[in-house]
Amino acid sequence: MYVAVKGGETAIENAHAWLAEERRGATDIDELSIAQIREQLGLAVNRVMAEGSLYDPDLAALAIKQSRGDLIEAIFLIRAYRTTLPRFGYSKPVKTDEMACDRRISATFKDAPGGQVLGPTFDYTHRLLDFKLAAEGEVPAAPTAQPRTEATPHITEFLKGEDIIQDEPASDTTPGDLTREPMEFPSNRPLRLQSLTRGDEGFVLGMAYSTQRGYARNHAFVGELRIGKVAVEMDIPELGFAIDIGEIELTECETVNQFKGSKTEPPQFTRGYGLVFGQSERKSIAMALVDRALRWEELGEDNLGAPAQDEEFVLSHADNIQATGFLEHIKLPHYVDFQSELELVRKLRREAEERMQPKEAAE
């Protein structure tokens, strides 16, 4: 059987031309600039950087413009671009305890040193549409106060003395990198965290929510949530020492989880960890909850068969580019596959009919 595989070039070209026109929208409306997207749609930019796994606000803004605001399409563009970049190296681990915090809150310690700093948050807004934003207007300057100059210590540091919270001992083992080797199971915590931080926000949120609703409940409190800038430092071989190669915004969430103890661990608080590019608070909290749920084995907890405890399930489905690639490919031409399916169903029906006929004849 011959099936045409050529053709459609003109249709495709014309479709892309129309796409460009639709992307632009009505020409009597000003065109969006990359800078406007970067500055005014910052949280969309952050999501594209986190899930695109590349920190570059201008590129993320360009991707959002190109994708007409379809963030998964934008993430796809960033991932594709990322693969073209030569890898200069790996940074030293960022020092989140030296973060210049825009926001830093704790749900567990009211009087934590450094205080509860709300930052530019949506929390406590009334979630009523603000029609003032529909009109142009000046924004009044945000109030200021005496700035904190010293670093803000992590809250878990204060619990360490009592040995009542699980320690996170430093280790310089080289972590696996899933941009270099495909994920294999069983995995390990560093790989799980890499997968979760670039995972789809909606998926990670859903998984985290499932633990709160009772599927492997782990009683999480937000021990600390901080958002701000940290320097990124890397050893430069030609210099023989390390320098800052830039500064990035991160959201870090550390959960403190109730833990009654297990066969291997004494009763103490355990921890879940979220660290995400940009101001990405929901994602960071969700990541910490899922991280904690996936630690059941090392903590000697029971496997309750909950989806959020199943690392193969979680990590294999967290990546929205893999997911959308496989999902959306079924809309592309499958004429040959479908022809053979059609032939098969026709044949089965013919056979079924033939089996029926002699019976009917006999009756």
- Amino acid 256 reads V
Residue 132 DSSP class: G
User: How far apart are the C-alpha atoms of 278 and 246, rounded to whole Å?
Assistant: 14
Query: Which listed residue (13, 70, 97, 297) binds another protein by CB under 8 A?
Result: 97
CB of 191 to another protein, least distance (A): 7
Cβ contact 256:245 at 8 Å: no
Burial of 88 (0-12, 13-18, 19+ CB in 10 A): exposed
Residue nearer to another protein on the CB measure, 254 or 310: 254
Q: Is 42 in the site for another protein (CB under 8 A)?
A: no
For another protein, the closer of residues 174 and 264 by Cβ is 174
Return the number of the residue (176 or 215) whose C-beta is nearest another protein: 176
Q: Which is nearer to another protein, 115 or 333 (CB)?
A: 115
Q: Establish if 198 lies at the interface with another protein (CB under 8 A).
A: yes
109 near 155, Cβ under 8 Å?
yes
Half-sphere exposure at residue 73, Cβ-oriented, CA atoms within 13 angstroms:
10
Residue (40 or 340) nearer to another protein, CB? 40
Among 74, 216, 275, 321, binds another protein (CB under 8 A): 275
Q: Indicate if the alpha-carbon torsion angle 224, 227, 230, 234 is positive or negative.
A: positive
Residues near another protein (CB under 8 A), total: 86
Write the DSSP assignment of 332-351 as a string of letters: S--HHHHHHHHHHHHHHHHH
Q: Which of residues 217-236 bind another protein (CB under 8 A)?
A: 231-234, 236
Shortest distance, position 128 Cβ to another protein, whole Å: 21
- CA 230 – CA 91 distance, rounded (Å): 12
Separation of alpha carbons 331 and 336, rounded Å: 14
Q: Which of 107, 248, 299, 323 binds another protein (CB under 8 A)?
A: 248
Instruction: Note whether 267 and 260 are within 8 A (CB).
Output: yes
Using the rule CB under 8 A, is 183 a contact of another protein?
Answer: no
Rounded distance, CA 122 to CA 194, Å?
27
Q: How far is the CB of 124 from another protein (least distance, A)?
A: 11
| Nearer of residues 254 and 301 to another protein, judged by Cβ | 254
Q: How far is the CB of 254 from another protein (least distance, A)?
A: 6
Binds another protein (CB under 8 A): choice among 7, 140, 147, 161:
147
Beta-ladder partners of 242: 235
- Length of the chain in terms of residues written: 363
Q: Does 305 bind another protein (CB under 8 A)?
A: no
Q: Which two tokens stand for residue 27?
A: 């020409």
Task: Fill in the per-residue mask, 152 to 181: x = in contact with another protein (CB under 8 A), - = not in contact.
Answer: --x-x-----------xxxxxxxx-xxx--
* 122 lines the binding site for another protein (CB under 8 A): no
